[in-house]
Amino acid sequence: MEKLVIFDLDGTLLNTIADLGNAANHTLKELGLPQHTLDEYRLMVGNGMRKLVMRALPHDKASDDTFVDSTLAKFLEYYAEHIDVYTQPYPGIPELISALSTKGFKLAVASNKIQAGAERLIAKFFPGIPFVAVMGNTPDYPLKPDAAVVEYIMKKAGTDRDHTVMVGDSGTDIQTAQNAGIPIIAVSWGFRPRHELTAANYIADTTDALGSFLFASLLKNDAKRNDPNAS
């Protein structure tokens, strides 16, 4: 059974913070509300677009569901048109994804980004890579850290927990993997502070370290399959 790697998107594969922050600030400016720095937005993302909007709003506005809904609509309209102005893959990520695919890994994405946005960014930055699934925020599955989306991806890929690993940059990703009963590799180059990642099975500080860890895991599985005495 081939090994499946499920990647988070924002902060793991792609640095999307400038486009997310700029879209939020554009919306706040239109409403005459205080804006935030990109570093502040790093701690607001990761739990879906509605949560991002709520965290960006003043407390009195964030508690008004009607106001949040209208602000979210404005944000999504602008973000959809400016989703890839500054967004780029992290250094070494396209090469790593290509190498993993070539070596036989099954690959997938599990993100809390809007579904259309996740699909658009993956298609742009990873053309030709046969992802098993690119899953964003859809009505069919709850957001991470619920494990439902991971379980769906494993079923679609035809793999089980023993052959699946998740890669992410946040406590949300760690909790998702733990809820699904699979290992989690955290990457330190993303949006969250390192102390949030200590519960991960492994922390990768570079794409080279991430690749080495994943390839070592694949080779270990290959050796077991080819060893008649392996348990």
Q: What are phi and psi of 20, to 5 degrees?
A: -65, -50
Q: Which of 32, 41, 116, 33 is nearest to 79 (CA)?
A: 116
Catalytic residue among 8, 10, 19, 173: 8
Q: For residue 133, what are the contacts with CB-CB under 8 A and spacing of at least 6?
A: 108, 109, 152, 153, 156, 157
DSSP string, 178-220: HHHT--EEEETTSSS-GGGGTTSSEEESSHHHHHHHHHHHHHH
Dihedral sign for Cα 176, 6, 191, 202, please. Answer: positive
Cis amide linkage into residue 183, ω under 30° from 0:
no
**Tokens (6 digits) for 199:** 């519960």
The amino acid sitting at 18 is: A
8 catalytic per annotation = yes
- Which residues are designated catalytic? 8
